Each structure stands twice: as C-alpha cells, then as structure tokens.
Structure 1
Amino acid sequence: MYSQNEAARDSYRRFSDSLFYQYKTELDSSLKSNDRELIVEAYVNLASFYKKSQIYTEAVANYTQALKQNNNENNVVLVQIKNSLGEVYIELGNYAKAIEYLSTALHISTREKLLNEKAKSLRLIGSCKEKMGNLNDALNFQQQSFAIYGKQNDLLGQAIVNENIGSIYEDLELYDKAYVHFEKAYQYFKSSNNEAQINALNNLADISRKTKRYDASIATTLEVLDLALKYNNAHQIESAYKDLSKAYAFKNDFEKAHTYLLKYQNLVEKQFYSQNFNQLNALQTIFDTREKQSQIDLLEQQNKASRARLMAIIILAITVLGAGLVSFIYLKRKRQIINKLQAYKQRVLEAELENKAVKEQNLKNEIQLKTATLSKYSLSISQKNKLIEEVSGSLQKMSTRKRMDLPIKINELALQLNQHLEQDNEWEQFMDLFEDIHPHFSKKLSDIALQKLTATELRLCLLLRLDLSSKEISSVLRITPDSVRVARYRLRKKLPIETQEELVNFMLKL
C-alpha cells in the first residue's frame, strides 16, 4: 500500500501531467489554426506552468515565444509578458536582467496609460532595487507604485506595496515605520481572508523580536503557526518554527528553543525533497512528452517514405505494361531518379534522427545535473544535521544541570559552532558545485588577474559572480559590510577593470 507521502506525490504527478498535456494540446491546436491570439495565450499558459514548477529556463523560452508571436500587436499582453519575465529573473537572482524587462514594460505602460501594469512594473523594480541593496531607490519605486494603486482604489495592490515598504524600512532598521506598514498590509489581508495575511503577520512578529519584545513575538508567531496549519502552508509553518526557536533562545528558554529547532529542521528536510521531487517530476513529464513526439514524427516520416515507394512501384508497373523498347529506356531513367530521391529522403531521415537523439541526450543530461545537485545538497544537510545534533545534546545537558556555569558553557558552544563554521569542507563543496555551473571561471579569473589572488579574494569573486549584495557577502564570509567594501576595493586593483565599470558586471562577463 502507498504511504500518505507517496499517495500525495502520485496525485500531484497525475495533476501535473494532466495540466501539462492540456497546455501542450492547446498550443498544438492553436499552431494548426494559425490564430496568433490563441498561440500567444497557449505559450503564456505553458510558461506559467514551467514558472510554477521552477523550471525557469523553459519558462523564459515560452515567454519569449509568446513575445515573438505577439509581435507588438497587443500592448497590454506585451507589458504583461515582460512583467512576467521580470518576475522569473527575480526568482533566478538576475536582477539586472529583470530590471531590463521591467523598465521596458514600465515605458510602454506609461505611454499607453496602462496604470495597473505600470504599478506592477514599479513595484517589481522596487523589489529588485531592494535585493541589490539600493534601498532609497527601492523605497522611491514602491511609493510611486502605491500612489497609482491608490488612484485606482486597488486595495490589494496597496496592501502588497505596504508589505514591500515595510521590508525596506526593516532593512534600514527603522522598525517603527516597518511595523506600521506591515500592520496595514495585515489588516487588509485579514479582512479579505487572503492567505497573504500569514506572511504579513510573520513580518510583525519579526519586528517584535528585533525590538526585543520577545513575549509579543512568540504570541504573534503562534498565531502565524495556527494560520499556516489552517491553510496548509508548509513554507510558513517552517518559518514559524524557526522564529519560535529564535525567540525562545533569546529568552534563554533553551529547551523550547531546541524543540522548535528540531521541528524546523525536520520540515526543512521534507520540503527540500518534496520541492525537488516536484521539479524532477515536471522535467520527466516534459522529457516523456518530447520522446513520444519524436516517435510520432519518425513514424510519420516512415509512412511518407512507404507511400512514396508504393506510388513508384505502381507507376513502374503501368509503364512496363504500356511501353515497348522506348518505355524500357524511360523506365531505367525513372528508376535512377527514384533511387536518388529515396537516398536523399533517407539522408534527411537519418539527420533528423541524429538531431532528435542529441535533444534527448541534452534532456537526460539536465536531469542528471539536477540529480547531482540534489546529492551535493543532501550531503550538506547531513553535515548540518550532525552539527545540530551535537549542539542539541549540549543544550539538553545544560537544561538538566542546575549548578552549571551557564555563560561559560554558552561560550564553549559558541566556540564549537565557530570551529564548525571555519571548516573549509562546505567551501570545497561550494567550489565543486560552482565549477559545475560556471566551468573554468576560476581559471579565467586567474589568467587575467594582474596579481595573484588570495583564497579569500577568490571566494569574494565567486560570490560577486552570483550577484550577491555586500550585505549577503558579509554574512557568507562572516565579516562586516565595511570589510567587504575594503576587500572589493583591493580586488579591483588586482584586476584589469576600467574605472567606471562595476565589479559585479566585470564578473558576470567572464
């Protein structure tokens, strides 16, 4: 008998397959009818399916096809597609590319007075600016978006922007202002019974925790957990467990902190495998569909070749029966022509078969790459679990010993964690995975460097190539943002980079 997880996965696969085949059938039908409007709609539906399945390369490809078919005929559709492309590139972390599409959408929507799409473009550009660390620009774009939603009396749009503005103020550590905007967003989502109220309430809990109001933070987070369980929102359940663990740790209630930390870790593991299962399942569905299509195309070609041979035989029989010596000569020439034609068709078929084989191999390689990535991250999770188990054991011992010098023991745990964090094992795995995705990057960088790069500088280059902000880099390297800026300045001196060129853009071009 199936377990509940297996049954759920089987149900999801059937639903995913059904939805994919539906959109694929709609696309094939629209292409046959040559109806551009239907073709654009079909490509957009397929792109949305890939986007939801987190297969972003296919999503981009189908949105691009939709743009080609639209051919700038429908400005509303054009802006919607470019905004969607911007969202995909935001998910990919390519904020420069996202802004490129969103800026075009903003220009067209401004010219054509498409206020709803203009507000969306401004909101998404603001999100990109926040991710890139340009908080003042981010705030400006969000405020422009909020003003347009206000004129349109779009309460949902205003609530979304309020949440974004609250996030920016939180980054600026202006927690009072952040709380006000999160509260406004929460009140709207709650009144409209929108699931987004969970995230807004979670943001309010974060503000309480960051302002050291731990009891209020715990109470609010418990509300978040109840709502997340009600809506079966696994991501928010996971976030609630994590936040409760942090809050109880700050209150020195290590037993409860440990309990929620274990719940969080277990759920993270389940979510990790579930998410990647869904993604691999979608890839398998796409691969199976293309393989079947290849077989159908091959059979059609074989049928055409068979019909051609049959017609040639009939013509040959009629010619032999109705002609004499002259017909014999004609027949000989006819046979030569037919043989050349068949040889040509055979070469065409062989070429198509080779092309299809290459495409199939590429799909298999893509699946293998996903599998390899899963294996590497599984190893990382295993190592983290081992560290958590060690810290967990220490916390449990601390909770049972009454006469223990707690500050000294906590310092020992901190030193133990630092020793684990200073190990290079994770960096070696990171370097291996980075080399899989961006082969020869390190060699190219070393070849063009004016001076030999240190190991720390090389790590900085890899993180810049991933387009991380200085704040994110400081967290990964465990140094201050000021140290990151100094390191970037010293790195520029060792590279053949022009004065006006951004260091990130230089890395992205390698």
Structure 2
Amino acid sequence: MTFLKRLLLIIGISTTFCLNAQTGSNELDLKLPTLKDQLELAKNNSDSSQTAQVYLRIGNFFNRLELYSEAIKNYQNYLDIHRKKDSSLVNVKNIIATIHLELKNYEEAKIISLSTLRISEHLNYQKGKAISIALLGSVAEKQGNYKKALEHQNISLSIFQSLNDSTGLASTYENIGSIYEDLDQFDFAYQYFKKAQTFAKNSDTNLQINILNNLGDVNRKTGNYYKAVNYTEKAFQLAEQTGNTSQVGSALKDFARTHAALGDFAKAYEFLNRQSLVNEVELKRNNSEIVSALQVLYEVKEKEAEVQLLNKQNQINKVRQYIILIVSGAIILSLALGLLYWKKRRWHEKQILEYQQQLLQADLDKKMAEEVALKREIDIKVSSLTSYSLNIAHKNKMLFDVSRTLSNLKDRNSELVKTKLQELVEEIESDLSNNNEWIELMGYFGQIHPTFFENIKNVASEKLSSSEMRLCMLLRLNLSSKEIAEILHITSDSVRIARYRVRKKLPINSKEDLQAYLLHL
C-alpha cells in the first residue's frame, strides 16, 4: 500500500470511491457528473462551505484514479475557499504533500510538510503534527538520509502512542520497518513489521495485507522461506477475499520470488504467469477506469466550456446592449449639451455685446466730460487772458499818461510841476493799492491749487490774516524772499518777520523749511 493510501486511512477519509479497488467504470461514469452537479449547485447557492467540500470530494476521486494533476487542482480549489487554519486545512495539505512524494517531487513535499507542521503546532493538532513529521521522514528516506528518516518516524510514533491511534501506530511501525529493510537490518525490520501487524488487526484490510507482504519479504530475504510463504499465503487469501487485485498480484509476485529462492523454478514460473494475468486484468481495469474518468472529465469540461461560451456570448450581447445604450445616451447627451452650449454662447455673446455697448457709452461719457472740462479750462484761460489784457492796457495807459504829463511839465514852472507830480504820485499809489489784482491772482491760484487755502486753514493753530495768506500763496509759487518783497512793496526784513509769524501758526518743527512745507501741503 502506498504512503498516500495509508495517510488517507490515518486521516479518516477512506471513502469507498477513494480506496475500493473494485469500483467499476459505470460507477465512475456516474460519480464525476454527480460531483460536478453538486459543485454547480453549491456555487449557484453561494454556499462556500459546501463548494469547498465538493472540491475536496472531487480531489479524492481523482486521487484514487492516480490522476494527480486534477487531484491537486481540486485540493487547491478547496484551500482557496477554506482559508481557516484548522485541522481540515492541515489534512488536505498533507495529502498534497504525499502526492508530491509519490511523484518524487521531494523538495515540494518537504516544504508543504514543514508548513503543515508549523500550523499543527500552532493549533496543537497532534495527529496532524504526527502525519507531517512522518511525511518528512518518508522524504528523508527517499533521499537516502535514513538517520533523519528514523528520527522523524520515531517522533511521529511517540505522538501516535500518546494519542493511542492504532492505525497511525501500525502505519508508522511499518514505515520504520521499511527503513530498516532498506538498510538490510532485517531483524529490526521484522520486529517493527510484527508490531505493525499487532496494531493493524482492527484497521483497514489493505494495511493488513501490506504488512503481511512485508513480513513475507523480510523472511524471504533472511532465508526463512517457509515462513515467508506462510505470510504471503495469508496476504493472498485476504486480498482475494476483499477483491483487491493489486494486492493479489503483489502476493503472487512474492510467491514467485520465494519459490525461485527455494529452487522450485517451475512453481515460480507458474506464479509469475498468474501474476501477469492478474496484472493484465488489473491494468485493463485501471486503464478502463482512467479512460472512463478522462472521458467523463472531457465531457464535463466540454459542457463547462459550452456553458462558458454561452455565458460569454450572453455577456457579449449584454455588452453590446450596454454599448448601444451608452452610445445612444452619449448622442442624446451630446445633442443636449450642444443645444445648451449654443444657447449659452448666444447668451454670452449678447452679454458681451451689452458690455461693449456700456463700455462705448462710458467712453463717450468720459470724452464728453473731458470736452466739457477742456472747454471750461479754455473759458477760464480766455477770461484770465482778458483780465490780464485789460490790466496791462490799464497799466500801459497809466504809464502813457505819466510819460505825457512828465513831458509837458519839463518846460513849466516849479510850482506847477510840484502840483502835477503830487497828483501822479497819488494816482500811482491809488493804483498800487487796488486789491482787485490780488483778488484775481488768488482766484487764478485757487483754480490751479483748489484745496490749498482750505488745507492751510485746517492745519493752522491760529487764523491767518489776508497778508499772511498772500505770503503763503507767494511761497507756494516758489518765489524768493527778494521777489516777494518787490511784489508786496516791503523790505526783505519785513518778509523775514512775516515768515516767522506764519511759521508760529503752522505745525512745523524748528528744522523744517516753511517753503518746503507749503510746497508739499
């Protein structure tokens, strides 16, 4: 019996379709579609737990037929759904590790076994731990590291002893016996096989047959041929009773070897022929099962492909409908957006036109205001020129009269000249004392600096006299003290004193120039 089948027995999933060698092709034809139907139903019901369990049963189904790639794929599907770290996860991963061991993928089997060992230790799952360590021992045995293999198997044995697991003990004792048999230490091998036989009495018959065959092999290799024949005969009878043709063939092969060692080659040849016939029948049956299973698998996959194709076509049709709806919606939306954009654009164009008209109107109003201001300025300047022209004409007339009077007096007597000169002086002083010129000048100044007089009144601490206001105006015109004295017909000292008085009435510090202050007022 392979390690895989022993593992299934230890774990406790030795279902009929997994281990029964007499399963017919008709049953296989019915089993896989049934499992597939169960899987489809579980998926449709969104029952993840049931889906995982069906994947596990399908994996076991393919495992029994030794279609390992399909078995691993379904076991992996189970693990993808069943992510909970529990004993079930450990058991399934151990089965996958055993399949890799059967396929001689020793490193992969070792990696998975170490993984399940860590999980088992974390869960304190002793049975899973024992199986993982036994797997590591089998890997070490296959790689020729018998010392490490014995260490692992003995650890596994002690755990099974603490669990009082007879099937686990029988399997582990058989593993240890096989290691000693490989080392040609047949006495130790025989002892462990006998212990395995003791614990396997209540176990599966396949395990019992396998142990009997091993006992027969050890006795044959040590020369105890009659004992060997006895054990092989027991294995043969038990295999025939259970209909296990594979074990029947193994027993016949052992018979042939033992009789050949006894020198009874005719008997050995007879057993070999019988073995060939049994193997041929077994091979045909296995091939029939595998072909039948592959045929069913092909049909199932073909149906799945057809369903997937129909689903894809339905999806494509739905996508087409969605595309048509989306395109139609996009066209309608584009038209609506286009109409909205056109209306919005027209509204914006209307707004822009109104703004432009408002700007033109504002520009026109501005130009009209500038024109009015310019006209006013011209009027003011014309008025100013007129006033100054009349003033100049008056001055010129006065000077002409003075010149003519002086010319007429040069030949007159002194008394008459004195009288005339006195009249001219009075007339000139009368003209000089005329305030109209000052009023006009201050009016022109006010047009140029309209806020000056108001500002100076606001900042002055005391009220300024008219003469002081004139002084401030002349200083604002940036005239010198000498020029101011000539205009006001006073001396320079008088201008200095007047400036001092004005300075006291304004908020000016001692270091600041009066004229500079007034220029910036």
TM-score class, shorter-chain normalisation, is 0.5 to 0.7
Preserved contact between residue 62 and residue 70 of structure 2 (Cα < 8 Å):
yes
Q: CA RMSD in A?
A: 3.2
Alignment CA distance shift 1:299-1:165 (3 Å):
same
Alignment CA distance shift 1:246-1:305 (3 Å):
closer
Q: Any residues of structure 2 matched to 1:395-414 within 5 Å, and which? A: none
Preserved contact between residue 85 and residue 119 of structure 2 (Cα < 8 Å):
no
Q: Which residue of 1 aligns with 2:33?
A: 21
Q: Which residue of 2 aligns with 1:227?
A: 238
* Structure 1 residue matching 2:215: 3-state secondary structure: helix
Q: Which residue of 1 aligns with 2:438?
A: none
2:46 paired residue among 31, 34, 37 = 34
Identity within the alignment, %? 33
1:142 paired residue among 140, 144, 153 = 153
CA distance in 2, matches of 1:302, 1:271: 45
Alignment CA distance shift 1:29-1:237 (3 Å):
same
Q: Any residues of structure 2 matched to 1:42-61 within 5 Å, and which? A: 42-61=54-73
1:290 paired residue among 289, 296, 301 = 301
Amino acid at match of 1:53: L
Q: Which residue of 2 aligns with 1:96?
A: 107
Preserved contact between residue 229 and residue 258 of structure 2 (Cα < 8 Å):
yes
Alignment CA distance shift 1:188-1:13 (3 Å):
same
1:70 corresponds to 2:79 = no
Preserved contact between residue 238 and residue 264 of structure 1 (Cα < 8 Å):
yes
Q: Which residue of 2 aligns with 1:201?
A: 212
* Structure 2 residue matching 1:255: 3-state secondary structure: helix
CA distance in 1, matches of 2:25, 2:291: 10
Displacement after TM superposition at 1:11 (Å): 7.7
Alignment CA distance shift 1:10-1:289 (3 Å):
farther
Preserved contact between residue 123 and residue 142 of structure 1 (Cα < 8 Å):
yes
CA distance in 2, matches of 1:267, 1:257: 15
Displacement after TM superposition at 1:28 (Å): 2.1
Displacement after TM superposition at 1:10 (Å): 12
* Structure 2 residue matching 1:239: 3-state secondary structure: helix
Amino acid at match of 1:103: L
Amino acid at match of 1:48: N
1:169 paired residue among 180, 196, 203 = 180
Amino acid at match of 1:32: N
Displacement after TM superposition at 1:254 (Å): 1.5
1:105 corresponds to 2:116 = yes
Q: Which residue of 1 aligns with 2:413?
A: none
Q: Any residues of structure 2 matched to 1:294-373 within 5 Å, and which? A: 294-300=305-311, 302=313
CA distance in 2, matches of 1:10, 1:84: 22
Alignment CA distance shift 1:210-1:11 (3 Å):
closer
CA distance in 2, matches of 1:115, 1:10: 34
Post-superposition CA distance 1:121-179 (Å, at most 9, x none): 11122112112211111111111011011111112211111111111111111111111
CA distance in 2, matches of 1:134, 1:53: 30
CA distance in 2, matches of 1:223, 1:207: 15
Post-superposition CA distance 1:262-295 (Å, at most 9, x none): 1112222222232222222211111101111222
CA distance in 2, matches of 1:10, 1:163: 25
* Structure 1 residue matching 2:201: 3-state secondary structure: helix
CA distance in 2, matches of 1:305, 1:250: 72
Unaligned runs of 5+ residues in structure 1 are 1-8, 320-328, 334-510
Amino acid at match of 2:229: I
1:116 corresponds to 2:122 = no
CA distance in 1, matches of 2:227, 2:191: 16
Displacement after TM superposition at 1:59 (Å): 1.4
Q: Which residue of 1 aligns with 2:98?
A: 87
Q: TM-score, normalised by structure 2?
A: 0.55
CA distance in 2, matches of 1:96, 1:22: 36
Alignment CA distance shift 1:311-1:107 (3 Å):
closer
Q: Any residues of structure 2 matched to 1:259-270 within 5 Å, and which? A: 259-270=270-281
CA distance in 2, matches of 1:172, 1:309: 71
Preserved contact between residue 173 and residue 193 of structure 2 (Cα < 8 Å):
yes
* Structure 2 residue matching 1:64: 3-state secondary structure: helix
Post-superposition CA distance 1:241-273 (Å, at most 9, x none): 111111111111111111111111222222223
CA distance in 2, matches of 1:76, 1:202: 33
Displacement after TM superposition at 1:237 (Å): 0.9
* Structure 2 residue matching 1:277: 3-state secondary structure: helix
CA distance in 2, matches of 1:197, 1:31: 41
Unaligned runs of 5+ residues in structure 2 are 1-20, 336-521
Amino acid at match of 1:116: K
Amino acid at match of 2:51: I
CA distance in 2, matches of 1:178, 1:94: 26
Preserved contact between residue 189 and residue 195 of structure 1 (Cα < 8 Å):
no
Alignment CA distance shift 1:143-1:311 (3 Å):
closer
1:258 corresponds to 2:273 = no
CA distance in 2, matches of 1:176, 1:312: 80
CA distance in 1, matches of 2:320, 2:46: 32
Displacement after TM superposition at 1:300 (Å): 4.8
